[in-house]
Amino acid sequence: MALDSLALAPLYKGPDSNGIRLMAEPSKKPASPLKSLVPSKSKLTTIETKRIVSVLDETIRKVEVVSLLSSAASNNEGLQGMLGEDITKAVRENEDLCQQLLDKVNYLQDEEMRLQEEEEFEDEGWFRGRLLSIQQQKSQLLPLRQQIKESTKNILRLLLNNPQAARLLQMQSLGRSAEAQSFIDSLIELRGFLFERLLTSPMEARDKAHFIQDVTRQNKRNQEVIDALESELAESLKNRDAEVQKENSVIQELKNHLHQVLRFSENSHLRTKHEADKQQKADFRASQARVAKTRQEIQQLRSQFHNLLMENREAEQALRKDEYEELDVIHKEEQAQLEQLKYRHNALVEEFSQIRAEQEINSKKNLEAEQEMLRMVRAATLIQAVWKGYLVRSMLRSKKRKRGKGKAKVKKGKAKGKR
């Protein structure tokens, strides 16, 4: 059954976040060493976090509905009376499409298994033809899958318009497959982890990190103690073997000595041997008791180590999931910041283009003004030059006139003198 229709509108207008089991809600048990790992808050306070949990809750509800369609389609008698004619028809069409897809997939899997058994004929033409045929049939599955997706979306739309039918369908939870229930449980567990992460503050996350570091250091110290005890055990076993060997040597010497004095005193030999055997057994029992005690201590320490190791693994797993979710949130925030910066950059580029266009217009106006000023200066210079030339010519003309009048007066004086 296709599950790609989870992005549709919600089946219920008011999602109830308390209707799903919360994996991260704080327990009411007595305080324990893991108290620092439990969030201090029990409810979401911001609208963003509530929306996130609401989206996930709605997704779980849709998965629950979709996972019951196959069971509803198999119940031909009560299907129409429970869901109505339109929904019943859509469910049956969806089931037919799913069955077609399943039959084709099973057929292609059987064909591939047969081809794998006939790999020695890989160079034959008929083998390549069958392989090409299987590839073509696989490519034909995509439209069928798309039809199943569209059919599932249509069913969810119909159930959205008929909340009573959706509730009746959800009541048939016994018809859900084990795989679908496992998937839903996984989504619920993911919801619990997300809920816990949204409740955890940065200070609590830092406290968790410190707690994990303390547990790690305690684990390291316990391991050092275990190593020291194991070294002591090895040394004790070594000393025991040496003592046993030494005692065996003593016993052998005693046996030799008793063998030598056997002809003198049989009773003394038996008594000495009995005492030696008794001493050996006593020493052996004492050694066995020490070994058993040491092994019991080692077993206790190993049990403590195993318990601490399991607690550390659970805490580490929870922290790793928190770290992943925190990095995901940071990534989304940075993505949003990047979009804002892109928007600001585009606005600045547009503003810069306008300013540059205005500067070009101003520069053109300044250039035209300079050219106009240059023409005016040239015109003024030309006018001044013409005026100066005119003045010079006027002065020259006046000087010529004065000289001409002086010469005429001189000529008249000379003429009078002659006269």
Kindly report, residue by residue over 106-149, the tens digit of the pLDDT: 888 887 787 777 665 656 667 677 777 777 777 778 888 888 88
Whether residue 6 is predicted with pLDDT greater than 60 in this model: the reply is no
Say what the pLDDT of residue 30 is. 42
**DSSP code per residue over 40-89:** S--S--SHHHHHHHHHHHHHHHHHHHHTTHHHHHH-HHHHHHHH-HHHHH
Which residue is it, tokens 């997300």?
Answer: 194
Q: What are phi and psi of 156, to 5 degrees?
A: -65, -35
Q: Which of 269, 300, 332 is the last residue of a domain?
A: 332
pLDDT tens digits, 35-54: 555 665 667 777 888 888 88
User: Is pLDDT of 341 > 60?
Assistant: yes
Number of domains comprising the chain: 2
Q: Are 130 and 252 within one domain? A: no
- Whole-number average pLDDT of the chain: 76
Answer yes or no: is 385 within a domain: no
**58 and 195 share one domain:** yes
Looking at the fold, whether 114 and 28 belong to one and the same domain comes out as yes
Which pLDDT belongs to residue 333?
Answer: 87
Q: Classify residue 14 by its DSSP letter.
A: S
Q: Is residue 341 part of a domain?
A: no
Residue 14 lies in a domain: yes
Q: What is the pLDDT of residue 226?
A: 92
Is there a single domain that holds both residue 47 and residue 83?
A: yes
User: Between residues 311 and 20, which one has the greater pLDDT?
Assistant: 311
* pLDDT score at 120: 59
Q: Name the residue with higher pLDDT: 306 or 88.
A: 306
Residue after which a domain boundary falls, among 278, 300, 332: 332
Residues 6+ apart with CB under 8 A from 304: 222
Q: Is the pLDDT of residue 326 over 80?
A: yes
Q: In this predicted structure, what is the pLDDT of residue 25?
A: 39
Verify that 158 and 288 share a domain, yes or no. Answer: no
Out of 300, 332, 364, a domain closes at 332
Q: Which of 20-24, 170-174, 259-263, 271-275 has the lowest mean pLDDT?
A: 20-24
State the Cα–Cα distance between residues 22 and 192, nearest whole angstrom: 5
3 state SS for the chain = CCCHHHHCCCCCCCCCHHHCCCCCCCCCCCCCHHHHHCCCCCCCCCHHHHHHHHHHHHHHHHHHHHCCHHHHHHCHHHHHHHHCHHHHHHHHHHHHHHHHHHHHHHHHHHHHHHHHHCHHHCCCHHHHHHHHHHHHHHHCHHHHHHHHHHHHHHHHHHHHHCHHHHHHHHCCHHHCCHHHHHHHHHHHHHHHHHHHHHHCCHHHHHHHHHHHHHHHHHHHHHHHHHHHHHHHHHHHHHHHHHHHHHHHHHHHHHHHHHHHHCCCCHHHHHHHHHHHHHHHHHHHHHHHHHHHHHHHHHHHHHHHHHHHHHHHHHHHHHHHHHHHHHHHHHHHHHHHHHHHHHHHHHHHHHHHHHHHHHHHHHHHHHHHHHHHHHHHHHHHHHHHHHHHHHHHHHHHHHHHHHHHHHHHHHHHHHHHHHC
- Say yes or no: 148 and 26 in one domain: yes
Residue 392 in any domain: the answer is no
Least confident range from 66-70, 248-252, 285-289: namely: 66-70
59 and 88 share one domain:
yes
Q: Are 159 and 169 in contact (CB under 8 A)?
A: yes
Among 53, 47, 57, 49, residue whose Cα is nearest residue 10: 57
Q: Are residues 172 and 216 in the same domain?
A: no
Whether residues 155 and 302 share a domain: the answer is no
Q: Which residue has the higher pLDDT, 66 or 76?
A: 66
Same domain? 28 vs 130: yes
- Per the model's pLDDT, the better-predicted residue between 264 and 227 turns out to be 227
Structure confidence at residue 169 (pLDDT): 73
Q: What is the pLDDT of residue 35?
A: 54
More confidently predicted of 229 and 44: 229
pTM of the predicted model as reported, rounded to 2 decimal places:
0.37
- State yes or no: pLDDT of 269 exceeds 70: no
pLDDT score recorded for residue 13: 32
Report if residue 141 sits inside a domain: yes
Name the residue with higher pLDDT: 85 or 81. 85
pLDDT of 3 above 70: no
| Residue type present at position 259 | H
* Mean pLDDT, range 235-260, rounded to an integer: 84
Residue 372, domain member (yes or no): no
Q: Is residue 93 part of a domain?
A: yes
Residue 386 lies in a domain: no
% of residues, the chain, pLDDT over 90: 2
| 149 and 195 belong to one structural domain | yes
Question: What mean pLDDT is predicted for residues 60-69?
Answer: 80
Q: Would you state the pLDDT for residue 93?
A: 81
Q: Which residue range is the domain that position 133 belongs to?
A: 4-200
Based on the fold, state whether residues 285 and 192 are members of the same structural domain.
Answer: no
